[in-house]
Amino acid sequence: MATRLVGTQAPDFTLDSTKNLETLAEKVSLKDYEGKWLVLFFYPMDFTFVCPTEITALSDRYDEFQDLDCDILGVSTDTKYSHRAWINTPREENGLGHINYPLAADPSLKISREYGVLLEEEGIAMRGLFIIDPEGTIRYQVVTDDNVGRSVDETIRVLSALQSGGLCAADWKPGQKNL
């Protein structure tokens, strides 16, 4: 069942993460991002084929998000240990290599369920992406088929449109006038 979260307060979370890749002892929570924009995205599983293309594409353009006062957090139902192993695997071997933001672990499935992206029978998250504003309100959500990767360009475009504070026409791009 589809869940509309746009316009609501983002469900709170505290999850194990790869913030400290060596110890894996640092958790990540929604409160860590108060006062900034956040791109929170869910993906199905570590060590798959489409997921690393999205994760590394977002990481490669992390500075652009930072310039927009936005951070990024990826979440799957895999464990922090699986996340670390995937990050420690080079890109040439279907790994992630170094990435510029943490991955969070939701093995309890609770957060994936609260964001409406959990495939219950499989126990994995769908490809869901949420843009959360500095006050914690979800301003954008998109969920796609597992076979289709998300566009970093479109994510930056929508983030910029939301930050513009005005009405943005179809195909609006940063720098263009609002309606």
From the list 5, 38, 51, 75, the catalytic residue is 51
Residues 6+ apart with CB under 8 A from 148: 50, 127
CB atoms within 10 A of CB 43: 27
Contact 59, 97 (CB under 8 A): no
* DSSP bridge pairs for 16: 27, 105
Alpha carbons 110 and 100: distance in angstroms, whole number: 25
Residues 6+ apart with CB under 8 A from 176: 168
- Running DSSP on this structure, what letter comes out for residue 153? H
- Does 168 participate in catalysis according to the annotation? no
Alpha carbons 103 and 17: distance in angstroms, whole number: 6
Cite the active site residues: 51
